[in-house]
Chains A and B, each alone.
Chain A
């Protein structure tokens, strides 16, 4: 099935004009069912499986049922029919909240793959290396800045806010929210602030929380050194 990656086999199923689209994805097969009432779709799909049992045998299957509203009885019956034929149904994708709930009740996934965080997605477009987003502060609780390049905040970043940047983050103010620099894995990314006291700091895949600091804080820079997150006073960095 791995060899099937992103190949598409689709067939128009007789009079019902339903369609079954089969696509190889990372986690197995993604099968899209649509264009007909559910009982017809389900039986057409099972028939299809019977006809090509050697192809389907042992497959991990995710179903995309579109807007069909499925109850537990319908979905579990299909799951059982599939498992009798050696297919394991592991996920159901749907635009209907009813179906999603049903799938969850049956212990099925409702998303294809679960990246640890959506922030790890690939940059949507190529940005010039020095592209930066300018944010006028304060960034308040609930505020969220997502940018593929660098982020510059003029003002405080309050607790409860979040900055996710593909590049580095510079805060001209107090940084107390959650910040993630190098969200796509750039280990050269850094975070600096006049007062570096984030709720949580991430650079690439490393996570750290601020130690409890007392007294007046000095400007600091956080970066990855030998795979560890370190924060240094700005004066020491520039003094080198």
Chain B
């Protein structure tokens, strides 16, 4: 096995990197692929919470890079999906505890063991960001349909080009079709127009995401919700499938019966 390393970045915080990393990993693993998530947000770890694996952490990323444990020991196995693992971040250290070359070494070792490595990057463009992209074969840039997030995504895309990690692919998260229709939110076309990179996913605004995150039960586990389906689609596109983008404008039966717009 030679894994592909996918890093999820955004520049701005709070756009949904961690949730997306968890869900893409779950979606890939539910297709029978062997996946390891790596939490790159040292000092502010979250991926373990979103995946519901918080209480099983013994060793973390920094323990591996500093030689206190073997790689295998830091890989927490998910009980729901036997092929899904997490390497959590250290909570008591900071970004400088790991260097970009540490990440390259770690991923090189992991590559032999799994099919996919999904790295969740911290917000910002400093050390943590550089660590997270150091080993990446593919970088996914996340943004929300709002001006500040798009501005930061643009900056990050420029940095990725400079580091020769491009071309990146774009995920637009928390799109609200109704708001776009009213002209109160940037549309997918507006965002792509500015960022000018390939689109790999559109995730609609969905309350279920918050519920799932709080429970540590990633939505992509069942894939019934719209957001869950969107994550599944991103995973399939990563695998090379051609998957059409969901029609987010379609109204549900209830709305149609009521004759709402």
Residues of B within 8 A of A141 (CB): 151-152, 154-155, 158
* Contact pattern, B 114-148, Cβ under 8 Å of A = 1, otherwise 0: 00000000000000000000000000000000000
Asked if A149 is at the interface of the complex by the 8 Å CB criterion, the answer is: no
Residues of B within 8 A of A138 (CB): 196
Task: Give the interface size bracket for B toward A.
Answer: 10 to 19
Q: Within residues 175 to 210 of chain B, which ones have a CB less than 8 A from any CB in chain A?
A: 194, 196
- The CA-CA distance from A159 to B190 in the complex, in Å, is 14
**Are A158 and B159 neighbours in the complex by a CB distance under 8 Å?**
no
Asked if A35 is at the interface of the complex by the 8 Å CB criterion, the answer is: no
Asked if A162 is at the interface of the complex by the 8 Å CB criterion, the answer is: no
Asked if A11 is at the interface of the complex by the 8 Å CB criterion, the answer is: no
Asked if B157 is at the interface of the complex by the 8 Å CB criterion, the answer is: yes
Asked if A111 is at the interface of the complex by the 8 Å CB criterion, the answer is: no
Residues of A within 8 A of B158 (CB): 140-143
* Contact pattern, A 147-164, Cβ under 8 Å of B = 1, otherwise 0: 000000000101110000
**Are A160 and B196 neighbours in the complex by a CB distance under 8 Å?**
no
Residues of B within 8 A of A140 (CB): 154-155, 157-158, 161
Residues of B within 8 A of A142 (CB): 154-155, 158-159
Residues of A within 8 A of B151 (CB): 141, 159-160
- The CA-CA distance from A160 to B161 in the complex, in Å, is 16
* Contact pattern, A 132-146, Cβ under 8 Å of B = 1, otherwise 0: 000000101111000
18 pairs, CB–CB < 8 Å, chain A vs chain B: A138-B196, A140-B154, A140-B155, A140-B157, A140-B158, A141-B151, A141-B154, A141-B158, A142-B154, A142-B158, A142-B159, A156-B194, A158-B154, A159-B151, A159-B154, A160-B151, A160-B154, A160-B155
The 3 closest A-B pairs by CB, nearest first: A140-B158, A141-B155, A141-B154
**Extra contacts besides A140-B161, A142-B159, A159-B151 (5): CB < 8 Å:** A138-B196, A140-B155, A142-B158, A159-B154, A160-B151
